[in-house]
Amino acid sequence: MRKLLLASVFALVAGAASAQSNNLAYIEQTAGTSGATATQDQTGTFNEARAYQQGTVTNSSISQTQNGYGNNARATQNGAGVSNSITQNQLGTNLKATATQEGGERNIIRQTQAGTAHVSIAYQGGGSGNTTIHDQSGNGGDTNFNTANSYMTNQTNSQQYVTQSAGMNNATQQMLSAGGGNFQQIVQNGQGGTATQILR
């Protein structure tokens, strides 16, 4: 009986170990941060997750969760700061998510990806209301080839959302040196994909 139990434990440990792979997780929080908190959670294959919070970040927070296959997720917050937050949450296949906030005011980037080839990038910069949310089908649907980018620079009241579902996907939103109330949204469901919005 004891041997069986030990065998089971070893099997569980081996299974857990095999779920990992190339790994790296690295958090750096330095003097300028305020509320801080960074949480990273990875499961299997090529892994990597980095997070930095530095400079004049304020209420802070980074949280990254990954699951399986190509993995990768980076986040950076620093510069002008204020309420901050980056949340990235990925599930399975090629994955990648990058987020950077180096501008100020209300901040928030949230990227959630589910299945297939993924990529999702967002930068902010500039400042005021901020927000960027990409979704690519939430937790569990077949989201196909994906990609969603979103860059902002000198915004004012900001926002940009993308939601994509099953289909060939792809989306880009960009604001550059905008000003004014801002807001851009792309929603794609089904086949075909590709949508681009730029506001100069």
Prediction pTM value = 0.76
Identity of the residue numbered 120: S
Buried b / exposed e over 16-33, threshold 16 CB at 10 Å, is: eeeeeeeeebebebeebb
Report if residue 170 sits inside a domain: yes
Determine which of 7-16, 19-28, 95-104 has the lowest per-residue pLDDT on average.
7-16
> Is residue 2 one of the residues assigned to a domain?
no
Flag the least confident range among 16-20, 21-25, 129-133, 191-195.
16-20
The first and second tokens of residue 12, run together, are: 């569980």
Number of independent structural domains in the chain: 1
Residue 49 lies in a domain: yes
| pLDDT score, position 54 | 82
Q: Is residue 134 part of a domain?
A: yes
C-alpha dihedral sign at 31, 36, 42, 48: negative
Residue 181 lies in a domain: yes
Is 154 part of any domain?
yes
pLDDT tens digits along 159-184: 988 888 767 788 888 888 778 888 88
Residue 159 lies in a domain: yes
Give the phi and the psi of residue 4 in degrees, each rounded to 5.
-60, -45
pLDDT at 134: 83
Q: What residues does 127 pair with on adjacent strands?
A: 104
| Tens-place pLDDT, residues 49-66 | 999 888 767 888 889 898
Q: Structural domain of residue 35, as residue ranges? A: 23-198
Is the pLDDT at 16 greater than 70? The verdict is no
* Residues 164, 145: Cα–Cα separation, whole Å: 10
Whole-number pLDDT of residue 142: 56
Q: Decide if pLDDT at 91 tops 90.
A: no
Give tens-digit pLDDT for 101-151.
887 888 888 988 877 778 888 888 888 888 888 887 754 455 567 888 898
Res 48: pLDDT: 92
In a domain? residue 17: no
Strand partners, 56: none
- How many Å separate Cα 179 from the centre of its chain? 25
Q: Under a CB-based contact definition with an 8 Å cutoff, are residues 176 and 154 in contact?
A: yes
